[in-house]
Structure 1
Amino acid sequence: MAKKYSRSQYKKERNAQKDTRPSATLSNARVSVTKACFVLDAIRGKSVQEALGILLYNPRYASSLIEKLLKSAIANAENNNGMNPENLYVAECYANKGPTMKRVKPRAQGRAYRIEHRMSHITVVLDER
């Protein structure tokens, strides 16, 4: 038989397991997961200053989105957790599949080809060294 909990006990247990590291998430970014992962792989495990430098000079479109996201995560670490930005590094960064916008492109002889504009949910998690 299942153990009976009150709602407050359940919430207390759930919040005790919650990740306290500072993070930032971008939902429905208009870039595919594959293209975002090329940029995320370049900054994973790097210090925050080094990651910002990489993103600043990376020519890919996703790097501008991820740079903004990283700055947001740094601000969250400073304001919410009181961490020093010099000691931070990118602990985790990943992109998950988001919704796909489906469009139709007319082709020869009355045919129609489907065009899929893929989106992604990008997450950056920081930690202190």
Structure 2
Amino acid sequence: MSKALLRYIRLSPTKARLIAREVQGMNAELAIASLEFTPNKAAKLISKVIASAVANGGYDAQDVIVTSCRVDAGPVLRRFMPRAKGRATPIRKPTAHILVEVGTQKVQAKKVESKSKDSKVADSKNTEAKSAKKPAPKAKATQKAPAAKVESKEDKPKTAPKASAAKNTTAKKKTEGEEK
């Protein structure tokens, strides 16, 4: 894996990050080719940094991929523009640092395989832990319904819900049946 770093570039880091996200994980040759035809100042600079990282590692651009492309904020140049009535408004001229890392595809494949093995082991542990924590499903216990409340006519609301009205009528029928 090799790196290249371009520092103090007169470029907005937020605009450069948009381009940097596009090339992460791409083949270096494909990334350089696509960036050459992108009409953006950041695209041309990032393609040069990718080419430099490939050359620093002594690789061929076809054999490597861009593992990470990071754009950090550099110092901001502050200028002032004179305005009306003796005022001055600030002008911010941001700078950026571009860091590109490239690596061979074989190394990336090994990393992906090891991560997938680790994730499978972690997944199996998580499922075992969840099954151990989860109690066995219990049979539904029959719960006794609370005894129906007999209310006087004064306590009853004028419009009772249908469900409670059904309970009251069944309770009345039971009490009437018991009395007879």
TM-score of the aligned structures, taking structure 1 as reference length: 0.78
Listed as ranges, the gaps of 5+ residues in structure 1 are 1-20
Listed as ranges, the gaps of 5+ residues in structure 2 are 106-180
Q: Which residue of 2 aligns with 1:47?
A: 27
Q: Does structure 2 retain, via aligned residues, the 8 Å contact 1:105–1:114?
A: yes
Q: Which residue of 2 aligns with 1:27?
A: 7
TM-score of the aligned structures, taking structure 2 as reference length: 0.56
SS at match of 2:38: coil
Q: Does structure 2 retain, via aligned residues, the 8 Å contact 1:77–1:85?
A: no
How far 1:85 moved relative to its partner?
A: 3.1
Match of 2:38 among 51, 58, 65: 58
Q: Decide which structure has greater helix share.
A: 2
How far 1:99 moved relative to its partner?
A: 0.7
Q: Which residue of 2 aligns with 1:104?
A: 80
Alignment length (residue pairs): 105
Dislocated runs of 4+, deviation >3 Å: none
Identity over aligned pairs, percent: 32
CA distance in 2, matches of 1:39, 1:114: 27
* Structure whose CA Rg is larger: 2
CA distance in 1, matches of 2:74, 2:54: 24
Q: Decide which structure has greater strand share.
A: 1
Q: Are 1:74 and 2:54 counterparts?
A: yes
SS at match of 2:93: strand
